[in-house]
Amino acid sequence: MKSLVLPTVKFTEEQNEFRKEVRQFLKDEEAKGSFERTCDTWLNGYSEEFSKKIGAKGLIGMTWPKEYGGQERSMIERYIVTEEFLAAGAPVALHWIADRQSGPLFLRYGTEEQKQYFLPKIAKGECYFSIGLSEPNSGSDLASVSTRAEKTEGGWILNGSKTWTSGAHHSNYMITLCRTSPQDPNNRHAGLSQLVVDLSAPGVTIQPIQYLTGAPHFNEVFFESVFIPDDRVVGEIGNGWKQGMAELAFERSGPERILSTFPLLDEMIEIFKENKDENGLKEATKLLARMWSLRSMSIGVAKMLEEGEEVGIIAALVKNMGTEFEQSVPEIARLLISCQPRLDGESRFERFMAQSILHAPGFTLRGGTTEILNGIVAKGVVNS
């Protein structure tokens, strides 16, 4: 069996200085009231003003070429920024998908016109994307998607629907996986394509679905004869499966798979310190040790992505272990500190507990379920 080798990353002095700057910026913004610290903000913290502010600071699309609005910084520097945003519980959901995967998708497969049109807007924090994969009858088995596009003069006519689309009600565009030729029983992955759907186009209907918290979060999105111009096809017609899978590697291994409940963990440690609770601190140390190991793995994957290496299997492994960790934080907190979790609770701990408990079931579903990712890891091990 092949062993797992991940690069070790040691932050440079410059990178540590950069982290301090980002942390100070976030502290100042929180103190100014720009945001209220919350758990799981990469999926639920929406603020156009804040997204534009950090876009103006050059903290979105930061690894992209300068000609497309990027900063040509390293994946490790991007990792530092995303980690600090999550740890601070800052509202980053609006631009998160575009920064993490739609932008890199355009860079890899997009036309020059698409890069010039979309990337600078994304980097400014003023253009938002959502992920159009899941459908009412296709979740884990994505190759079975039935949303279809048929060729017409100058473009494609799209019909079908997507579901569980995070943030579609706030987004400008959706990268939509759809069928552009009939299913081939000998190759289930053939005939799929990725189209950029303008969510304000005629024929698009967006219906929000309430999250467990009661807030609108994800959506059902219906397409009724929506015209998609030829220049809004991403990459090649028929290559959608391969492109979509490459996109998922960016999606699965980042700090957002470890830190969704970090504000709760941090608050819990503060309470233990205040109460000089030795046992509580001992339990928190165990969580921190787990977090530290996962973080090292996740940073190793960021390095591999930078070097253009294949990360599919290790990203799946990190996602599974990371999301299990995120879910365990409220479970352990519940056993150590007695409280009545409430979204409108008076203390931060009560609020963070309620947010974490209500969001946690989704951690191991979004971005691919634990069972599916275990399958990817198992197949990878068998084939190695």
Contacts of 198 (CB under 8 A, 6+ apart): 172, 173, 204, 232
Between 71 and 165, name the residue whose CB sits nearer to ligand FAD. Answer: 165
Instruction: Report how far residue 313's alpha carbon sits from residue 274's, in angstroms, rounded to the nearest whole number.
Output: 42
Between 164 and 223, name the residue whose CB sits nearer to ligand FAD. Answer: 164
CB of 162 to ligand FAD, least distance (A): 6
Among candidate residues 126, 193, 207, 195, the one with its CA nearest the CA of residue 165: 207
**C-alpha 147: how far from chain center:** 23
CB of 359 to ligand FAD, least distance (A): 8
Between 174 and 287, name the residue whose CB sits nearer to ligand FAD. Answer: 174
CB of 218 to ligand FAD, least distance (A): 5
DSSP 209-244: EE-TTSSEEEEEEEEEEEEEEGGGEES-TTBHHHHH
DSSP 2: P
Between 244 and 300, name the residue whose CB sits nearer to ligand FAD. Answer: 244
CB of 178 to ligand FAD, least distance (A): 12
Between 161 and 298, name the residue whose CB sits nearer to ligand FAD. Answer: 161
CB of 308 to ligand FAD, least distance (A): 26
- Tell me the C-alpha to C-alpha distance, in Å, between residue 261 and each of 14, 104, 188, 266: 28, 26, 37, 9
Instruction: Report how far residue 271's alpha carbon sits from residue 265's, in angstroms, rounded to the nearest whole number.
Output: 10
HSE of 1, CA atoms in CB hemisphere, 13 A? 8
CB of 172 to ligand FAD, least distance (A): 15
Alpha helix positions (H), 110-159:
112-123
Tell me which residue has its CB nearest to ligand FAD.
139
- Return the number of other C-beta atoms located less than 10 Å from residue 293's C-beta: 12
Output Rg (C-alpha) for the chain, integer angstroms: 21
Between 160 and 368, name the residue whose CB sits nearer to ligand FAD. Answer: 368
CB of 60 to ligand FAD, least distance (A): 19
HSE of 226, CA atoms in CB hemisphere, 13 A? 27
Between 100 and 295, name the residue whose CB sits nearer to ligand FAD. Answer: 100
Q: Hey, CA dihedral for 150, 154, 155, 157, is it positive or negative?
A: negative
Between 139 and 312, name the residue whose CB sits nearer to ligand FAD. Answer: 139
CB of 87 to ligand FAD, least distance (A): 20
Instruction: Report how far residue 269's alpha carbon sits from residue 45's, in angstroms, rounded to the nearest whole number.
Output: 23
> Rule CB under 6 A: which residues touch ligand FAD?
130-134, 139-140, 164-166, 218, 362, 365-366, 368-369, 371-372, 375
Between 9 and 209, name the residue whose CB sits nearer to ligand FAD. Answer: 209
CB of 136 to ligand FAD, least distance (A): 8
Q: How much of the chain is helix, strand and coil, in % rounded to 5?
A: 50, 15, 30
The answer to whether 251 and 204 have CB atoms below 8 angstroms apart is: no
